[in-house]
Amino acid sequence: MGDRNSLFCYRKDDDGLWIWNYVVNAKLKVGYKVQSLLHYEESEYQQIGIVDTKGFGRMLVLDGFPQVSTLDGFIYNEMISHVPIVTHPNPKKVAMIGGGDCGHAREAIKYAGIEQIDVVEIDKRVTAVCRKWLTPGSALETDKRVQIIHRDGLDWIRENKGNYDVLMIDRPDPIGPGKKLYQQEFYQYVYDCLTEEGVVAFQSGSPYYNTSILRRTVHNLQKLFPIVRTYLVSIPVFPCGIWSFTLASKKWDPLQADFSRLKQDDTKYITPEVISASFVLPKYVKEILEEE
C-alpha cells in the first residue's frame, strides 16, 4: 500500500522511558511518556504493549502505535459504534472487524434491540491482553449476544454474505495483517455482507497525514454505496489530534437519522448535536475527497 507513515520505538531517555511515534508524512515526532511498561510481547501478528503513561492513562500500543487509551478511548469507541447503529432504524445483527479492546462492542451492547454482536479479531493475544490490563470484568464477558471470533477479517467477511445490519471496520494502518482490510476487493465483501438496508462505518485515517487512505476509502465506497459520508472526531492521543471515519449506507442517511434512539446516558462524547456536527467538513477535507 505504501502508506506506512509511522515508525516507532520504545526508548529510554535521560528522563525515563518514552514511546516515540514518527509520523513520516507529517515530519512529526510524537512522544508519550511511559510511567510503567506493564506488558510487552510479540504475538504471531504484532508487538503488543500495555503502558501506563503520564498524560493519557493506560494505553494499548500495537507495533509501537498507540491504539486506545483510558483517557480518551471513549471518543473513538463511541463514534465508530453509535453513529452507524443509530443511522439504521432497527439493527439486530452487528459485527466489528478489528477488535482491540472491544470498546465498540461495549457501546453496542447498550442497545437492547441488537440480538447478535460478532467481533472479528485476528489476534487472540490482543483480546486476552486487553481483557487483563484494560477492561477486566467488563459487561461484555457475560453478555450472551457477544461472540469474539479469532479470524482474519478478510477471510471471515468473504464467507458472510447478506447478513448484517451494521458493520464497523476498526482496522489499523495498512501494515501487517491490517493491510488486507484496504484491498479493493474488501470493500465489495463489506457491501455483500450487509443486508439491503445495511450501514457500515470505517476507520479512514488522519485527514492530515493519511490523505490517500481517506480519499481511496471514500472513492472505493462511492463505487458501491448510494450514501457515503465522512465524519471527523477529535482524538488527543493520535498525532495531529483529528481523525476521520467514513460511513457508507445502502438506504439510511445519517443526516436524517432519528437521534432519539441514541443511548447516551453513560456516554462521554457523543450527543445528537455532536453527531450532526461531525459530518460538517472543513473545506480542506472536502478538497481531499474531491481529488482524483
Of 30-38, 86-94, 172-180, 207-215, the window that binds ligand SAM (rule: CB under 6 A) is 172-180
| Of residues 254, 182, 258, 252, the one with CA closest to residue 221 | 182
Ramachandran class of 272: left when φ > 0, alpha when ψ lies in -120 to 50, beta otherwise? alpha
CB of 86 to ligand SAM, least distance (A): 19
Contact, 76 vs 270, CB < 8 A? no
The answer to the question of residue 123 lying near ligand SAM (CB under 6 A) is yes
According to DSSP H, which parts of 35-89 are helical?
73-87
For ligand SAM, which residue of 84, 91, 174, 178 counts as binding (CB under 6 A)?
A: 178
The answer to the question of residue 91 lying near ligand SAM (CB under 6 A) is no
For ligand SAM, which residue of 120, 146, 193, 289 counts as binding (CB under 6 A)?
A: 120
For ligand SAM, which residue of 34, 59, 96, 97 counts as binding (CB under 6 A)?
A: 97
What phi and psi, each to the nearest 5 degrees, are found at residue 289?
-70, -30
CB of 48 to ligand SAM, least distance (A): 8
Q: Give the nearest residue (CB) to ligand SAM.
A: 100
Catalytic annotation, pick one of 118, 170, 173, 258 = 170
Q: Which residue has the cell 443511522?
A: 87
The answer to the question of residue 83 lying near ligand SAM (CB under 6 A) is no
For ligand SAM, which residue of 49, 66, 91, 98 counts as binding (CB under 6 A)?
A: 98
The answer to the question of residue 101 lying near ligand SAM (CB under 6 A) is yes
The answer to the question of residue 3 lying near ligand SAM (CB under 6 A) is no
CB of 289 to ligand SAM, least distance (A): 22
Q: Is 101 annotated as a binding residue?
A: yes
Q: Which residue has the cell 462505518?
A: 201
Angstrom CA distances, 168 to 30, 49, 54, 235, stand at 28, 24, 31, 18
Of 150-158, 220-228, 246-254, 272-280, the window that binds ligand SAM (rule: CB under 6 A) is 150-158
Q: Verify whether residue 266 is a known catalytic residue.
A: no
According to DSSP H, which parts of the chain are helical?
73-87, 103-108, 124-133, 153-158, 184-193, 211-222, 272-278, 283-290
Q: How far apart are CA 80 and CA 70, in angstroms?
A: 16
Q: How far is CA 69 from the centre of its chain?
A: 13
Q: How far apart are CA 33 and CA 17, in angstroms?
A: 6
For ligand SAM, which residue of 84, 100, 174, 205 counts as binding (CB under 6 A)?
A: 100
Residue 15, judged by CB atoms within 10 A of its CB (0-12, 13-18, 19+), counts as exposed
Q: Which residue has the cell 508524512?
A: 25
The residue (of 86 and 122) whose beta carbon lies closer to ligand SAM is 122
For ligand SAM, which residue of 177, 240, 250, 279 counts as binding (CB under 6 A)?
A: 177
The residues near 86 (Cβ < 8 Å, ≥ 6 apart) are 254, 257, 258, 259, 261, 262, 275
| Residues annotated in a binding site for spermidine | 101
| Residues annotated in a binding site for S-methyl-5'-thioadenosine | 46, 121, 152-153, 177
Residues that bind ligand SAM (CB under 6 A): 60, 62, 67-68, 73, 76, 97-101, 103, 120-123, 126, 152-154, 170-172, 177-178, 180-181
Point out the residues that are catalytic.
170
